[in-house]
Chain A
């Protein structure tokens, strides 16, 4: 794999130059609370992503909840204002639009929402709901609007005489159809589908997905499909972007990505879904712990706190796997503790020299390293950690450990590497020649 100092997009454009780009995103960031004087660290929901969406394609966006995928989708349609970066829509930078330009542009980009119970105002009839966007934009004449609403109702598989019913009188699937009709009312080119079927019965999900696919080919729509359900994405998306902690970890053609994930995070994510073939002897990778807070993401690779194949420093490569895992676990615990805010009472106890919760570090070490044969050089590190924590310097302990046992994943931000001939890109140090390439069976070395 060759290292290339480019964004995944420039890569991709090289291979699919014939496709016309509709939405082009560069270094997009959305930080919450950055402007407010009340909060300390901003929440880095989206932290520098770049990708293109081609006209007529469906780009899937997957990731665990809280990874920033919904924020990304909302930012693309300007429900959120980006903190920095660029979103080009047909060559207009929409991040700077405002006033009537913004209103005019909104016709092009609509959203289908997740929860059909919440996305429809229950006090309006179905007809009024679908007509509202048309009214807002003063679309043609009144009777033409009515006509259009009826047409849309038919188009999404409802009937004209549903016009005067209220959302309450419909099932979840039907309500989602109403939401789709409303999104289509202004003839947009681009739709953000935010978990469009996750709130629906499994039996209805396929119908809605098929409807979306039919509409796409009928109306030449471009989709961004946000979902945590990988099978939904596999069903509908042409390409998939895998998101973790505000970053895109891997982006590529759907089938190839699912068949042969390149990034350690994608590998972990995919191994979490049961195989279709129960006899397949694939090793399950379980993700350790919860993702770190986007308020305080790790330095280096965003996945470094949980990565099963994280790169070790040279001198510890020979250390036993179990021992190494215990060391990482100790780091995880320290990080976790730093995150939970210390209460006033605890600070007071500390000042008074009383025992605090952190002083039970001995117990922790006991538990983590119990039954593990700790080599002497690691043992000194652990002793130092215990010492610092007992002295009331958990931060010092953390940075000490990072310095001593941290590798490139902890300190350097990875690059995007092209990992197949279709322009797939992955965000991981392991794609350089220096290290073994990531693979699901690889252990943290």
Chain B
């Protein structure tokens, strides 16, 4: 790389450019997370100032650049992007985000190709085959596209939402909006909360703001409104964040546990393995939903339930509950790898057990781990939604998809059908997408594996708590 820096420099320049246009958002995200962590550990939040400064930095793709909130003066739209109708302004912004995401994906791929062409000495590696198989797996690619869109929705929730979280959901009565009143024929000001009260969706045609409609205050609702009059799309975009956060974190936790345990049990076998089998059996014997409900109730008034609106509690719970399922699923492959002669060879030249696991076992197991983690992730998302549906999940007013389904449930058969059905459909889509992605990875990692093998079914079944 030192001898031939040009291609790498070119790629790096692209990355910086992509980061630069979103500098404010990236910085405020990173600083925000750091700040929250500090607040948790130290009790103070020394970075709050930096966070607000970074939020004021210019970002290319932001709601300020392409505003969609405005009012209709009777002849034209004021306050929106280029005077366009809010829905088009919003669509342009969403499109920009999608394009930005796509450019990132493309650039990362280009980076990989650059690495392959200029820097990697080997002209073929086993990973190449895996990637080639993944590239030709249509169902897996479909899954990955949906998952990528879901990621964008979560990451760019503040940008793709037609309104903001503070204004519309958390603190509607402290925020003013302007609108054009047809009665008086002039622009008037009211609070978002007051406006919400008149934009509710509660079943009757007269009192319903459906998908792709404007309310009486010139506000555009791509998915309609909630019974409280809040914007459903905004609610779901922020809800995606928390679902994804819980899903990914708990799968990272459970995955790391499962993988270490699988390698330890297959390397040492015997009593260690037996102890793990007994432990995981005991955990798997517990009724998952019961435990979740119980824990949610027991811990509901403790500090742990307040961290990230209860998300931390669920991450811990899902990690503890799901590692046995993942461990079971990868124990077989892990034992298979442990039987290979190269493990003996490494022992023979004195390699340390930890290094044997890391270098000579982990590369073979991590693929399987990805498969089962993505299959189970869907299950976690469903579980969180299910708990929120029961009123035990994430604390209000933090948005969570399950709660949208729950509050919309009485209106399913009415004009306000969208409140339940849209989030329900989205959950199904996302879970299917994660499954499709898992299938794709499985066929890429392990081309011989037959369709619908037992372990997959078990992991997926275990996921649907």
Q: Which residues of A contact B (CB under 8 A)?
A: 36, 74, 77, 79, 102-104, 106-107, 110-111, 113-115, 118-125, 132-133, 136-137, 163-166, 168-169, 179, 182, 185-186
Q: Is B126 an interface residue (CB 8 A)?
A: yes
A102 and B121 CA atoms in complex are apart in Å by 36
**Taking A110-B349, A132-B351 as contacts, is the C-beta distance between A36 and B270 under 8 angstroms?**
yes
With both beta carbons as reference points, the residue of chain A lying nearest to B343 in the complex is identified as A121
Contacts of A165 in B (CB 8 A): 122, 124
Considering the complex, give the chain A residue whose CB is closest to the CB of B128. A166
Q: If the complex has contacts A118-B340, A164-B121, A182-B345, are A123 and B351 also in contact, measured as CB distance less than 8 A? A: no
Q: How far is the CA of A165 from the CA of B121 in the complex (A)?
A: 9
**CA A137 – CA B350 in complex, angstroms?**
8
A111 touches B345 (CB 8 A): yes
B124 CB contacts on chain A under 8 angstroms: 165-166, 169
CB-based contact A133/B349 at 8 Å: yes
Chain B residue numbers with a CB within 8 Å of A169 are 124
A-B contact pairs, 23 of them (CB 8 A): A77-B348, A79-B344, A79-B347, A104-B350, A106-B348, A106-B349, A114-B341, A118-B340, A118-B342, A119-B342, A120-B342, A121-B360, A132-B349, A132-B351, A136-B352, A137-B350, A163-B121, A164-B121, A164-B123, A165-B122, A168-B126, A179-B345, A182-B349
Docked pose: A137 CA to B349 CA in angstroms: 8
For residue A102, which residues in chain B have a CB less than 8 angstroms away from its CB? 350
Establish whether residues A164 and B347, one from each chain, have CB atoms under 8 Å apart when the complex forms: no
What is the CB-to-nearest-CB distance from B345 to chain A, in angstroms, rounded to a whole number? 6
Write the chain B residue with the least CB distance to A125: B122
The 6 A-B residue pairs with the shortest CB-CB distance in the complex, in nearest-first order: A133-B349, A103-B350, A119-B341, A164-B122, A106-B350, A164-B121
Complex CA gap A163/B121 in Å reads 9
Query: Is there contact, CB below 8 Å, between B350 and A107?
Result: yes
Report how far A106 CA is from B126 CA in the complex, Å.
Answer: 31
Q: Does B346 have its Cβ within 8 Å of any Cβ on chain A? A: yes
Asked if B122 and A123 make an inter-chain contact with CB atoms under 8 angstroms apart, the answer reads no
Q: In the complex, A169 Cα to B342 Cα: how many Å?
A: 17
A-contact bits for B91-129, CB 8 A (1 contact / 0 none) = 000000000000000000000000000000111111000
Given contacts A103-B350, A107-B350, contact A166 B125 (CB under 8 A): yes
Residues of A within 8 A of B121 (CB): 163-164
In the bound assembly, the distance between CA atoms of A157 and B345 in angstroms comes to 21
| B122→A166 contact, CB < 8 A | yes
Once bound together, how far apart are the Cα atoms of A77 and B348, in whole Å? 7
Secondary structure at the B interface, as helix, strand, loop or mixed, is helix
Residue of A nearest to B360 (CB): A121
Given A121-B360, A169-B124, A111 contacting B348 (CB threshold 8 A): yes
**Within 8 Å CB of B348, what residues of A?**
77, 79, 106, 110-111
Nearest Cβ in chain B — how far from A170, in angstroms? 12
Contact A123 B126 (CB under 8 A): yes
Tell me which of B123, B346, B350 has the highest count of chain A C-beta atoms within 10 A of its own C-beta.
B350
Alpha-carbon gap, A113 to B340, bound state (A) = 11
Q: B344 to chain A: which residues have CB within 8 Å? A: 74, 79, 111, 113
Q: Does chain A have a CB within 8 A of B396?
A: no
- Whether B341 contacts A115 by the Cβ 8 Å rule is yes
Asked if B363 CB lies within 8 Å of chain A CBs, one says yes
Write out the residue numbers on chain B whose beta carbons fall within 8 Å of the beta carbon of A113: 341, 344-345
Complex interface: chain A residues within 8 A of B270 (CB)? 36
CB within 8 Å of A: which of B219-261? Answer: none
User: Contact at A136–B341, with CB atoms within 8 Å?
Assistant: no
Q: Please report the C-alpha to C-alpha distance between residue A110 and residue B340 in the assembled complex, in whole angstroms.
A: 17
**B29 at the A/B interface (Cβ < 8 Å)?**
no
Per-residue A-contact encoding for B286-310, CB less than 8 Å = 1, 0 else: 0000000000000000000000000
A143 to chain B, nearest CB (A): 15
Contact residues on B (Cβ < 8 Å of other chain), bracket: 20 to 34
Contacting residues, chain A, for B349 (C-beta < 8 A): 106-107, 110, 132-133, 136-137, 182, 185-186
Chain A residue with minimal CB distance to B364?
Answer: A123
Beyond A115-B341, A123-B363, is A166–B347 a contact (Cβ under 8 Å)? no
Q: Are B125 and A136 in contact (CB under 8 A)?
A: no
Tell me, in angstroms, the Cα distance from A306 to B352 when the chains sit together.
45
**Could you mark each residue 364-376 of chain B with 1 if its beta carbon is under 8 Å from any beta carbon of chain A, else 0?**
1000000000000
Of the residues B122, B123, B342, B350, contact of A121 by C-beta under 8 Å:
B342
Considering the chains assembled together, what is the distance between the CA atoms of A132 and B347 in angstroms? 11
- Chain B: CB-nearest residue to A103: B350
Q: How far is the CB of A75 from chain B (nearest CB, A)?
A: 12
CB closest residue in chain A, given B123: A164
B43 to nearest A CB, angstroms? 45
Name the residue of chain B whose CB is nearest to the CB of A165: B122
Chain B residues, Cβ within 8 Å of A77: 348
Minimal Cβ-Cβ distance residue in B for A113 = B341
Question: Which residues of B sit under 8 angstroms from A110, Cβ to Cβ?
Answer: 348-349
Give A79 to B346 CA distance when docked, in angstroms. Answer: 10
A residues in contact with B347, CB < 8 Å: 79
> CB-nearest residue of chain A relative to B270?
A36
Interface string of B141-184 (1 = CB under 8 A from A): 00000000000000000000000000000000000000000000
Chain B residues closer than 8 Å to A168, beta-carbon distance: 126
In the complex, given contacts A121-B360, A166-B122, what are 19 additional A-B residue pairs having Cβ atoms less than 8 angstroms apart? Answer: A103-B350, A106-B349, A113-B344, A119-B340, A119-B342, A119-B345, A121-B340, A121-B359, A121-B363, A123-B126, A124-B359, A132-B351, A136-B351, A136-B355, A164-B121, A166-B124, A168-B126, A185-B349, A186-B349
Q: How far is the CA of A233 from the CA of B363 in the complex (A)?
A: 37
Residues of A within 8 A of B345 (CB): 111, 113, 119, 179, 182
CB neighbours of B360 from chain A (8 A):
121
Closest to A185 in B: B349
**Cα separation A74 to B343 with both chains bound (whole Å):** 13
Measured in the bound complex, the distance between the Cα atoms of B346 and A110 in whole Å is: 10
**Chain B nearest Cβ from A97, distance in angstroms:** 11
Chain B residue nearest in CB terms to A129: B342
Q: Bound complex: CA of A63 vs CA of B347, how far in Å?
A: 26
Residues of chain B within 8 A of A119, CB atoms compared:
340-342, 345
- Complex CA gap A79/B341 in Å reads 11
Of chain A, the residue at the smallest CB distance from B120 is A164
Identity of the chain A residue whose Cβ is nearest the Cβ of B355 in the assembled complex: A136
CB distance from B335 to the nearest CB of A (A): 14
Chain B residues contacting A120 (CB-CB under 8 Å) are 342
Alpha-carbon distance between A92 and B145 when the two chains are bound, in angstroms: 63
Measured between alpha carbons, how far is A202 from B37 in the docked complex, in Å? 65
Q: Which residues of A contact B126 (CB under 8 A)?
A: 122-123, 166, 168
Shortest C-beta distance, B356 to chain A (Å), equals 10
User: Which residue in A118, A123, A137 is a CB contact (below 8 Å) of B341?
Assistant: A118
CA distance A318 to B360 in the complex (A): 64
Q: How far is the CA of A166 from the CA of B345 in the complex (A)?
A: 17
Across the two chains, which residue of chain A brings its CB closest to B339?
A118
What B residues does A125 contact at CB under 8 A?
122
Tell me the minimal C-beta distance from B142 to chain A in angstroms.
Answer: 28
| A118 contact set on B, CB distance < 8 A | 340-342
Q: How far is the CA of A120 from the CA of B350 in the complex (A)?
A: 16
Minimum Cβ distance to chain A for residue B80 (Å): 54
Closest B residue by C-beta to A124: B359
Which residues of B are found within 8 Å of A124, using beta-carbon distances? 359
Instruction: Kindly state the separation between the CA atoms of A123 and B445 in the bound complex, as whole angstroms.
Output: 12
Q: Please name the residue on chain B nearest to A126 by beta carbon.
A: B122
Q: Which residues of chain A come closer than 8 Å to B359, judged between CB atoms? A: 121, 124, 132
Complex: A275 Cα to B109 Cα, angstroms: 63
User: What is the distance, in angstroms, from A311's C-beta to the closest C-beta of chain B?
Assistant: 42
A48 to B126, CA, bound (A): 45
Residues of A within 8 A of B346 (CB): 132
Residues on the A chain within 8 Å of B352, using CB = 136
How close is A135's CB to chain B, nearest CB, in angstroms?
9
- Give B344 Cβ to nearest chain A Cβ, in Å: 6
Q: How far is the CA of A74 from the CA of B342 in the complex (A)?
A: 14
- Report chain A residues within 8 Å CB of B350: 102-104, 106-107, 133, 136-137
Q: Tell me, in angstroms, the Cα distance from A115 to B344 when the chains sit together.
A: 12
